[in-house]
Amino acid sequence: MDPPSATKFDVAIVGAGPAGASAAYTLARKGFKVVVLERGRTPGSKNLFGGRVYSHPLELIFEGFKNEAPIERWTKREVLSFVTEEGIVSVEYASGSSTSFTAYLSKLSAWMASKAESAGAILVTDVRVDDILMENGKAVGIVSGGDRLYADVVVIAEGVNRLLCERRNITPQLSPEEVALGVKHVIRLGTDKINDRFGLDSNEGLAWFLIGKVTDYLPGGAFLYTNSTTVSLGIVVFLSHAMKKVKRHIYEVLEDLRTSPPFTRLLEGGSLVEYGSHLTPEAGLKMMPKKLYGDGFLIVGDAAGLLINLGYTVRGVDLAAFSGYLAAEAIEEAHSLGSYTSHNLSCYERKLNDSFVMKEMKRHDSVQKLMSKSHIFELYPQVLVGTTKRLFEFEEASPKLLEAAKESLKGKGSKFKMLLDAITLMRGP
């Protein structure tokens, strides 16, 4: 569809990911004239994620979410595994209830965008926005392929790469320390095999995180999520470490994982239906722009650096969607004040700070920092697997728990450092 170039909109939104689509849906329902510009052929076609979303924020935003959204399975089993050459130690949690579900980001984004369209937003796909149109320091629209489209406010929902923000010096250039590279395979196995092999009932989902050897001991980890008929298997590695230390293509690291036990058996007979790679923000508060608003614009979602990686779970979609929703609320408030000045739009930051989004970002910032430290991904898998091996593999004399732990720790690192890590994990810095 061609963008309606002569028309002026109340709001132009760049990007139809969870952040942009949620902003569009909320604004359209409030009666704003909204256009969403998406460079993919369909919303979501350029998007990739691991596979699990926390549903509560989305239920607050989208009417009919639980019945209509493309939910694959409700996550009812969680596994965290520490992997070394010697073995694997896992912690498992299973429950009859669930607050998160597995999904394809492409389908979820497309569904959100269709809700926005039903509410009255105009979606224009296959259009790359080249620049934010600025006049006297104020955003007044966007530029695409030489065409100008005017709007009172621009919502920048362009995702992690944030090239538009960089071009306009709204954010500094991304550094490899701030992002991780994720690669993912989607493997079709069929519902019955998934249920049998992963011990699930239909509609029950598994979220499995692995750290250690799975990324050649680099900061990051592997993940496996079960969908209805497919499994999403991937790895994420901090880009700065990947650039310095991975001597082969990152796809080969994932291929090694897929063809190693226990995955060879679990995925046997499966066919690869999709693969892709994407960056993800990983630097917590450090990656957030100093200001998420300016004259005539707001920044939402990954572009605003809103992502939490705790090592055992990742949250990006719910934070992105809720920031889009809050941006819409802020635009409505600025509208009632009569203009979209930086001052009037600053209520967006206040709304974010008051919401779970910034409270969670702040609460977990120290753990996010820990997630970029190399020793976490080498020392702890080695010590945990080493200790467990000593406890279970003996000939006559079996060690006491403390002896086994001391033996496996020998020469591996400072106990003081481990104590500091434990304090950070439990309490913050």
Binding-site ranges for ligand FAD (CB under 6 A): 14-20, 37-40, 46-53, 105, 128-129, 157-159, 164, 182, 184, 234, 236, 278, 280, 301-303, 307, 314-318, 320
For residue 309, the minimal CB distance to ligand FAD (Å) is 9
User: How far is Cα 9 from Cα 400, in angstroms, rounded to an integer?
Assistant: 71
Q: CA 199, CA 228: separation in Å to the nearest integer?
A: 14
Shortest distance (Å) from residue 370 CB to ligand FAD: 19
Question: How far apart are CB 159 and ligand FAD at their closest, in Å?
Answer: 3
Closest approach of ligand FAD to the CB of residue 282, in Å: 10
Name the residue nearer to ligand FAD (CB basis): 132 or 345. Answer: 132
- Nearest approach in angstroms of CB 140 to ligand FAD is 17
Nearer to ligand FAD, 19 or 352 (CB): 19
* 3-state class (DSSP) for residue 318: helix
DSSP-derived letter for residue 304 is G
Q: Which is nearer to ligand FAD, 16 or 404 (CB)?
A: 16
In terms of C-beta distances under 8 Å and separation of at least 24 residues, what long-range contacts does 107-110 make, across chains too?
107/44, 107/70, 108/18, 108/44, 108/53, 108/69, 108/70, 108/317, 109/16, 109/17, 109/18, 109/21, 109/43, 109/44, 109/47, 110/42, 110/43, 110/44
The minimum distance between CB 353 and ligand FAD, in angstroms, equals: 19
Return d(Cα 213, Cα 235) in angstroms, integer.
11
* DSSP per position, 27-74: HHHTT--EEEE-SSSSTTTT----SEEE-HHHHHHSTTHHHHS---EE
How far apart are alpha carbons 13 and 142 in whole angstroms? 9
Rounded to a whole number of angstroms, the minimum distance from the CB of residue 74 to ligand FAD is 14
Identity of residue 172: P
How near is the Cβ of 144 to ligand FAD at its closest, in Å? Answer: 7
Give 318 or 378: the residue with its C-beta nearer to ligand FAD: 318
Query: Cα 399 to the chain's mean position, in Å?
Result: 42
- Residue 210 · residue 83 · CB < 8 Å: yes
Looking up tokens 């996010």, which residue turns up? Answer: 368
CA gap 280, 236 in Å, rounded: 9
Among residues 198 and 386, whose Cβ is nearest to ligand FAD? Answer: 198
Question: What's the min distance (Å) between Cβ of 398 and ligand FAD?
Answer: 40
Question: Which residue type occupies 206?
Answer: L
Instruction: State which residue, 223 or 263, has the beta carbon closest to ligand FAD.
Output: 223
* Rounded least distance, CB 112 to ligand FAD, Å: 9
Q: Which two tokens stand for residue 110?
A: 């497309």
Instruction: Give Cα 24 to chain centroid, integer Å.
Output: 20
Residue 148 C-beta: closest distance to ligand FAD, Å: 14
Q: Pick the closer one to ligand FAD by CB: 220 or 270.
A: 220
The residues facing 210 across adjacent strands are 81, 222
Of 377 and 383, which CB lies nearer to ligand FAD in the complex structure? 377
Sequence-separated (6 or more) residues with CB below 8 Å from residue 213? 83, 84, 85, 381
Q: Are 315 and 54 in contact (CB under 8 A)?
A: yes
Q: Which is nearer to ligand FAD, 5 or 414 (CB)?
A: 5
- CA nearest to 81, candidates 262, 279, 253: 262
